[in-house]
Structure 1
Amino acid sequence: MNHRQLFLSHLAQTTDFPLLIEVEEAEGIYLFGAEDRKYIDLISGIGVSNVGHRHPKVLQAIQGQLDKYLHLMVYGEYVQSPQTLLAKALCDTLPDHLNNVYLVNSGSEAIEGAMKLAKRYTGRSELISCVNAYHGSSHGALSIGGNEIFKRAYRPLLPGISNIMYGAYSHLDRITEKTAAVFVETIQGEAGIRVACKEYFQALRKRCDETGTLLVLDEIQAGFGRTGKFWAFEHFEIVPDMVVCAKGMGGGMPIGAFIANQKVMAAFKNNPLLGHITTFGGHPVSAAASLATIQILQEEKLIDQVEEKANLFKKLLVHPKIKGIRNKGLMMAVEFESFEVLKPIIDRAIELGVITDWFLFCDDSMRIAPPLVITEEEIRIACKIILQAVEELS
């Protein structure tokens, strides 16, 4: 059996129509497949490869850690330098209030930990999230998701959860003294790149302060430079009580975190002891890769280039079939009339060598979230191919 047959026979499938792109190597913004196929990756593995595939400094960090040790002990027991150095580097990117890091393996796990911590610290049980929010697919993360299509088959989910509209001032009074936490994607991702205004976020912060509610910002897609700031909440001049990250954090390695004040995080220490446990969270190889990723973003000034690169995409992607482009930095949604119009364009672009995608809750818009290392010339080539696909299907 060839690899494709093994894939279909033995790997669990989540649709009847996987992309079936066979990848043999990856480098920078490119994926390389069989028969000399070459693809420009404009989605970064869904917001993961912010510093590109196999960045040399990430590989060097991984190799350096491989020569020392792999897994040693469940999280939080042994002093492991990759974890401690990463935690310090993360805190250095954040306001002083956010000074304590819990490392996990993924975004969903980070959300699960943040949910538990919010309940434990406040002594409250109600959680609020936004309509069309996506926070992950595990049971708790799905419970605070905001799209019923993805939830209804798995009910009953966790109780005590309600949704508000992202950006709606009139819904803020639903946050009360019974609310443990409000979970908000700083930039709504799977809803199709929706960006609330600064005044909304400041009103949200004020309402949480008034009610003693923790404000938890999900930066799983938006963090690590994607929007032109290290953290997307920096655009809105607020400070959350917790921030959740993953995806672009690991330079291609699996890792996530939820970050809070040390006083808040201390709620896991007693009643019960070991209030949150993970075996592989903060795996030393992933932690080393993540630390290298932070250093690359800072040293190569990739974040400073985001806005200019995003503007070039917007300048070039002009066509009567394109209804508009929503974005915050290189977190972009290119809107078409419908999924029926968009899907053949995505398929044709892949055939021509450019990988894009659509959004879970917004299937009329094309996802563009390239590695931040993409060059101006590569943007021009990618846009030319997308427009070719659009024109061929007009």
Structure 2
Amino acid sequence: MQYIYFLCILIQKGVRLMSYLFPNYSRKPFEIVSGQGLLVQDQKGKTYLDFTSGIGVMNLGHHHPAVEVALAKQAGQIWHMPNLYQSQLQEEVAQALAGELDYVSFFCNSGAEANEAAIKLARKYTGRSQLLTFQQSFHGRTYGAMTATGQATIHAGFEPLVPDFIYGEYNDHKALDLVTEQTAAVMVELIQGEGGVIVAERSWIQQLAKRCQAMGVLLIVDEVQTGIGRTGSLFAFEQFGIQPDIFTLAKGLGNGLPVGAMLGKRELASAFGPGSHGTTFGGNKLALAAAKAVLETMGAPGFLATVGEKGEYLRQGINAIQSAKIVAVRGLGLMVGIQLVSEEVLASVTEQLEAKGLLSLRAGKTVLRLLPALTVSEAELQQALALLAEVLV
């Protein structure tokens, strides 16, 4: 007991001990131990305004009451059963995701798994192997999803990668020529989150979708970060005038519970018969209970409209900051990127914001990324803008 006591004292004082974890994360020297809404506290009691949402996960904020109630109710019934049995909860969440569209769902545990499922489905359904993705994209860290990711730094040291992936330039009309009769699918983000919060040009995306349709190629939209209300609509593709053949979800779907989903048009279901693909934990009862509560909350009248309004307020506020450090402000809804003049400035800005109590993210090499919970208040937006002004001016 005495050892545990002194260990706790050392942790509270921020003393770094020998770790039993792989060093594959650059971790901050503090731990977030509690949270409510957009406010979180570290082990020393310091409070921060969380504009990361756990990298776009806590879309309803920390400790959202509807999610807590759903989890407590499900925890009192049963936590997990494998996909050997019927699941009414999966059916209900799948129906809520599909809405008026005729999609079927496959549930998994993460965005990378959802993208792996999409790659497998596209190849199996079309009988083709080639996939087109885009430079600076990010689709995950598993082998298929990592290969789909158009970033050499993420590939480095893990070759050989999955064969038959090619990469086009994002928002470049020349990339349309890469879609041929040999292509199984095109996988694209409507906003490249990790790549620097780069928004797709609406006309380019629409032409890409038409090209895919003409060539019998499946269009996969990766909505892992943009989906579940982040951009002001349940799915970002609703604002681009397209309907993908397949789209993938994760992050905000479970508001902190690990859950992903791959949705495909109903006619694709024939390619995923019994035994073709599976997962032990996918569709877990607790995760799906959280997902159902998230979707019901976001389905309330006016909820998603407020996301667009808040996002516009935040971007206008940033644009009003007169700073030589800012190159551009981009985004949609509450997915906002501030491109700064250099990597050094970005590192300094994020460090200063953290010291002042605002948690933020990086994207690409020079972009400050802001992903506040969709429930952020006007007062919290004003507080964040004031801190940004202090650091950026």
What TM-score do you get using the length of structure 2 for normalisation?
0.93
Counterparts in 2 of 1:116-155, with a 5 A limit?
A: 116-155=120-159
CA RMSD of aligned residues (A): 1.5
SS in 1 for 2:170: coil
Paired position in structure 1 for 2:38: 29
Paired position in structure 2 for 1:314: 315
Where does structure 2 lack aligned partners over 5 or more consecutive residues?
1-6
**Native 8 Å contact 1:54 1:252 kept in 2:** no
Paired position in structure 1 for 2:201: 197
Paired position in structure 1 for 2:219: 215
Paired position in structure 2 for 1:9: 19
SS in 2 for 1:35: coil
Counterparts in 2 of 1:168-317, with a 5 A limit?
A: 168-269=172-273, 273-299=274-300, 301-317=302-318
Paired position in structure 1 for 2:3: none
1:386 CA displacement:
2.2
The letter of the residue matching 2:21 is L
**Native 8 Å contact 1:129 1:184 kept in 2:** yes
**Native 8 Å contact 2:362 2:369 kept in 1:** yes
Q: In structure 2, what is the Cα distance between the partners aligned to 1:37 and 1:150?
A: 34
The letter of the residue matching 1:31 is V
Query: In 2 relative to 1, CA 6–275 (structure 1 residues): closer, same or farther, beyond 3 Å?
Result: farther
Matched, 1:60 2:63: no
**Native 8 Å contact 1:134 1:146 kept in 2:** yes
SS in 1 for 2:156: helix
Q: In structure 1, what is the Cα distance between the partners aligned to 2:217 and 2:316?
A: 42
Paired position in structure 1 for 2:4: none
Query: In 2 relative to 1, CA 7–198 (structure 1 residues): closer, same or farther, beyond 3 Å?
Result: farther
1:36 CA displacement:
2.4
The letter of the residue matching 1:13 is P
The letter of the residue matching 1:20 is P
1:389 CA displacement:
2.5
**Native 8 Å contact 2:30 2:43 kept in 1:** no
Q: In structure 2, what is the Cα distance between the partners aligned to 1:267 and 1:20?
A: 47
The letter of the residue matching 2:148 is I
Where does structure 1 lack aligned partners over 5 or more consecutive residues?
none
**Paired residue total:** 380
What TM-score do you get using the length of structure 1 for normalisation?
0.93
SS in 2 for 1:39: strand
SS in 1 for 2:181: coil
SS in 2 for 1:158: coil
Q: In structure 2, what is the Cα distance between the partners aligned to 1:102 and 1:22?
A: 34
The letter of the residue matching 1:296 is T
Query: In 2 relative to 1, CA 110–78 (structure 1 residues): closer, same or farther, beyond 3 Å?
Result: same
1:6 CA displacement:
8.0
The letter of the residue matching 2:151 is N
Paired position in structure 2 for 1:372: 374
SS in 1 for 2:44: helix
1:277 CA displacement:
1.0
**Native 8 Å contact 2:67 2:290 kept in 1:** yes
Q: In structure 2, what is the Cα distance between the partners aligned to 1:214 and 1:245?
A: 17
Q: In structure 1, what is the Cα distance between the partners aligned to 2:242 and 2:16?
A: 49
Per-residue deviation, residues 82-140 of structure 1 (Å, max 9, x unmatched): 21211111111xx523x200000000000001110101000111111011110001111
Counterparts in 2 of 1:335-354, with a 5 A limit?
A: 335-354=339-358
SS in 2 for 1:347: helix
Q: In structure 2, what is the Cα distance between the partners aligned to 1:162 and 1:148?
A: 13
SS in 2 for 1:31: strand
Q: In structure 2, what is the Cα distance between the partners aligned to 1:31 and 1:71?
A: 30
Query: In 2 relative to 1, CA 341–8 (structure 1 residues): closer, same or farther, beyond 3 Å?
Result: farther
The letter of the residue matching 2:60 is V
Query: In 2 relative to 1, CA 363–315 (structure 1 residues): closer, same or farther, beyond 3 Å?
Result: same
Q: Which one is further off, 285-294 or 306-315? A: 306-315
